[in-house]
A and B are shown apart, each in its own frame.
Chain A
Amino acid sequence: MTTKSESPNPAPLIDRGLDSIFYPQSVAVLGVTPTPGTVPYDIFYNILASGYKGVLYPIAPGKKSISAVPAYRYVSDVEADVDLAVIVFPAVVVDKALEMCGKKGVKAAIVISAGFREVGPKGVKREQRIKDICAEYGIALIGPNCLGVINTDPGCMLNASFARKMPSEDRIAFLSQSGALCTAVLDYARGKNIGFSKFVSFGNMAGITEIDLLYYLHQDPKTDVILLYLEELRNGRALMEAARKITRGPNAKPILVVKSGRTSQGADAASSHTGSLAGEDSICEAVFRDAGIIRVNTLDAMFNAAILLTYQPMPAGNRVAIVTNAGGPGVMATDAAVSWGLEIARFQPQTTSRLQESLPAVANIKNPVDVIGDARSDRYEAALEAVMQDANVDQLLVILTPQSMTDIQEIAQGIVKVQKKALKPMACSFMGASDVQVGIDILEQAHIPHYILPELACKAMANVQRVCKWRQTELEDFEPLPADRTAVAAIIDDLPEGYLAEDQALAVLKAYGLPVPKHKLCKDADQAAAFAQKIGFPVVLRVVSPQIVHKYDVKGVVLNLENAEQLKKAYKDMMDHIAKVLPDAEVTGVLVRGMIPAGHEVILGAKRDAVFGPTLMFGLGGIFVETFKDVTFALAPIDEGIASRMVRQIKAIGLLKGARGAEPADIAAIEQSLRRLGQLISDFERIRELDINPLIVAPAGQGAAVADVRIRLDG
């Protein structure tokens, strides 16, 4: 559960000792051994071999030196100050090591050692102990259970990790919850001529979290793009707040994430629609979307987008020009581009004329431009120059297939030449593997993103477009809506754990401005008839009893009662039936309310999630929820923009908008109800689950009405 102790606004990174991790003046490696091939030795050696600009101290009890560097028995034996301790001792003595670091005044520590939270209860206890020590001494802690940290800034050059090689300097930062994945990513990136600014394996996050690191990298002048690999999301709200600041504004930096793994939902997950539908991944997806974090499914897709974002200017729009020497791949690229939301640019007349002048008559001078299979570099260059200058073109994709006359090297050099003059992003796909390699090398060295298939290039361009779109999205501050908190507190404060009676639940909703129809809890048939007379027939009778949650199962709901006579008979039948099937049920009374005119039935749900805290769900009723799971989620509370996204992103939105000539539904009323519901569950921690099922939505401008509600309280 998101608890009050989790700060939604973590202190800015600079205050959290991260400079001592990335730019330490001195580093001590604790637990170094003289045996190459072991983690302790390799970390020490990597720091030494990476060309670290500070001072390095091996702490190796019983050893005079490690790799000819004088060794110390304890960190406290080092006379000078130590900024950063890298601890590779076995887990059982890490606390001793950290305590000694604290007494020495070490500012930051990276605990590489495993054997903590990930190994069960004993490890959890051990991890808590090191957290306490770090808190006591103000040590900024990365890890435990991590690979380490790399900073390629030539002013520091720190490889405090057991990765095999130091990556080259670049403007991409990579943060990973998995240590082992890091070495694979480093090797993959090297193979693609991609380097990093900062590379961090943050492990169990006992101290510094991914959110602290994101804030730090936002301010890091060496980083332009942030990549994140996550296995669990511990504080969705804080991540969202951080990402919204980082991904927008004058110093905006895109964040791309690959999220895998699932956290246990807990045994109490599914007593309502919201509970059973709100899988962790669905909520993660919503968090990322509302945070402006670009989620991709694979590391390949992540790097494909990252190189475009890092090495090329941002496109002014989504219009793509394609230049190819092969018709088939041009069509494939067009299909891919369009299916991912890009637009195929329509050339200006002058561009068409220029293409006509410089290309053979058989060439296709419309987009995608086909320079024909026998094209050499001069033809490619002429076509690229022409389309690059077209005001209707925002970005460019160059495709090449290797024919016998294709001068691959010269074409690649020509592309580099054109790109240097351009302010528009360009991506290439030299299709093949062997012959085209010479061209790919030239492109990659010039930082022109290359993709083995044109579809991959289009996907990367589409992901860049998501970044652009997010930056243009207007965001509002979360402003609380007017609500009667005192009234809700008066209803729920003294109630025990469990479901609220329907009249209580409706009163709670009413206090928060949700559209509750006129109703009254009546103690007998005469009272019910009198109230029905007052509000006007037809009416609905609904039994109210603490023992009856599913009213329809016991014939506890009767609809469309036209007059007092019908109502009294229905009342008697209902009481007789309940007395028969549930003789022990204590009936508080019947709730009488007017019939709600037919409309679109939608479900609004709220749930206090074990991981994310208050969450909201929206979907259309009936089979859309049960069968198609056509629902959307968000962390509560929500602003107007998120409410709009929740409603408009269900697949069946067409039905609400008025499909096949039907009247459109009052979408604004749904959005308003979602916002109010979000605020309600955020304001009252005791509300565990809340389902409005259904909310009946009238045509546009005519509102909506709560037809049924269930609210469950925690103890």
Chain B
Amino acid sequence: MDKSEIQTRIVKAVCQVLNIEKDMVTPQSNFVFDLGAESTQSVQLLAAFEEEFGIEMESEAALSVQTVGEAVDFIAKYVNQ
């Protein structure tokens, strides 16, 4: 799966979980600082990504991901294994 498709699907999940508009989200967006994710929403985002891509991620490493761009790279490693 190429990274632009991964990014599109990530943005969709982010907008659903955080209840925000798509145009707020860029690859540089920090989930907390730019998109306003609360601590519980970080866990919800993780679950949403796993469901979206049908993968299971290592939680501690996944929660250390801070931006949308980093999430694309992180998830790409799982889906392209």
Please name all residues of chain A whose beta carbon is closer than 8 Å to the beta carbon of B20 when the two chains form the complex.
Answer: 62
A411, chain B: closest CB distance, angstroms? 56
Please name all residues of chain B whose beta carbon is closer than 8 Å to the beta carbon of A73 when the two chains form the complex.
Answer: 34, 36
Overall SS of chain A's interface: loop
Instruction: Tell me if A298 is interfacial: C-beta within 8 Å of chain B.
Output: no
Whether A33 pairs with B38 at a CB distance below 8 angstroms is yes
Please name all residues of chain A whose beta carbon is closer than 8 Å to the beta carbon of B39 when the two chains form the complex.
Answer: 90
Whether B38 pairs with A35 at a CB distance below 8 angstroms is yes
Please name all residues of chain A whose beta carbon is closer than 8 Å to the beta carbon of B18 when the two chains form the complex.
Answer: 62
Whether A93 pairs with B36 at a CB distance below 8 angstroms is no
Whether B38 pairs with A89 at a CB distance below 8 angstroms is no
1/0 per residue, CB under 8 A from A, across B10-48: the answer is: 000000001110001000001011111011000000000
Residue of B nearest to A60 (CB): B36
Whether A97 pairs with B24 at a CB distance below 8 angstroms is no
Contacts A92-B66, A93-B66 given; does A61 touch B38 at CB 8 Å: no
Q: Tally A-B pairs: CB < 8 A.
A: 34
Please name all residues of chain A whose beta carbon is closer than 8 Å to the beta carbon of B34 when the two chains form the complex.
Answer: 61, 73
Instruction: Tell me if A420 is interfacial: C-beta within 8 Å of chain B.
Output: no
Whether B33 pairs with A93 at a CB distance below 8 angstroms is yes
Residue among B19, B34, B36, B39 with the most chain A CB within 10 A? B36
Contacts A33-B38, A38-B38 given; does A62 touch B32 at CB 8 Å: no
Instruction: Tell me if A262 is interfacial: C-beta within 8 Å of chain B.
Output: no
Whole-angstrom CA separation of A96 from B30 in the bound complex: 10
Contacts A35-B38, A92-B66 given; does A61 touch B19 at CB 8 Å: no
Whether B35 pairs with A93 at a CB distance below 8 angstroms is no
B5, chain A: closest CB distance, angstroms? 24
Instruction: Tell me if A63 is interfacial: C-beta within 8 Å of chain B.
Output: yes
Please name all residues of chain A whose beta carbon is closer than 8 Å to the beta carbon of B35 when the two chains form the complex.
Answer: 61-62
Whole-angstrom CA separation of A62 from B39 in the bound complex: 15
Contacts A62-B18, A92-B66 given; does A33 touch B36 at CB 8 Å: yes
A38, chain B: closest CB distance, angstroms? 7
B63, chain A: closest CB distance, angstroms? 10
User: Which range contains the number of A residues in contact with the other chain?
Assistant: 10 to 19
Residue of A nearest to B19 (CB): A62
Residue of B nearest to A41 (CB): B38
Whole-angstrom CA separation of A490 from B23 in the bound complex: 72
Residue from B24, B33, B36, B38 in contact with A96 in the complex, judged by beta carbons closer than 8 Å:
B33
A232, chain B: closest CB distance, angstroms? 29
Residue total for B at the interface (Cβ-Cβ under 8 A): 13
Please name all residues of chain B whose beta carbon is closer than 8 Å to the beta carbon of A93 when the two chains form the complex.
Answer: 30, 32-33, 66
1/0 per residue, CB under 8 A from B, across A331-356: the answer is: 00000000000000000000000000
A636, chain B: closest CB distance, angstroms? 47
Whole-angstrom CA separation of A62 from B66 in the bound complex: 16
A498, chain B: closest CB distance, angstroms? 47
Whole-angstrom CA separation of A40 from B41 in the bound complex: 14
Whole-angstrom CA separation of A97 from B34 in the bound complex: 10
Please name all residues of chain B whose beta carbon is closer than 8 Å to the beta carbon of A89 when the two chains form the complex.
Answer: 32-33
Residue of A nearest to B40 (CB): A35
Whether A63 pairs with B33 at a CB distance below 8 angstroms is no
Contacts A62-B24, A92-B66 given; does A97 touch B33 at CB 8 Å: yes
Please name all residues of chain B whose beta carbon is closer than 8 Å to the beta carbon of A31 when the two chains form the complex.
Answer: 32
Whole-angstrom CA separation of A33 from B18 in the bound complex: 12
Please name all residues of chain B whose beta carbon is closer than 8 Å to the beta carbon of A97 when the two chains form the complex.
Answer: 33
1/0 per residue, CB under 8 A from B, across A36-68: the answer is: 001010000000000000000000111100000
Whole-angstrom CA separation of A35 from B39 in the bound complex: 11
Whole-angstrom CA separation of A97 from B32 in the bound complex: 11
Chain A residues 162-206 with CB under 8 Å of chain B are none
Whether A63 pairs with B36 at a CB distance below 8 angstroms is yes
Sample of 22 A–B contacts (CB below 8 Å):
A31-B32, A38-B38, A61-B24, A61-B33, A61-B34, A61-B36, A62-B18, A62-B19, A62-B20, A62-B35, A62-B36, A63-B36, A73-B36, A89-B32, A89-B33, A92-B32, A93-B30, A93-B32, A93-B33, A93-B66, A96-B30, A97-B33
Q: What are the nearest 7 A-B pairs in CB distance?
A: A61-B36, A62-B36, A93-B33, A62-B20, A33-B38, A96-B33, A93-B32
Beyond the given A40-B38, A62-B18, A62-B20, please list 4 additional residue pairs across the A-B interface where CB-CB is below 8 A. Answer: A60-B36, A61-B35, A62-B35, A92-B32
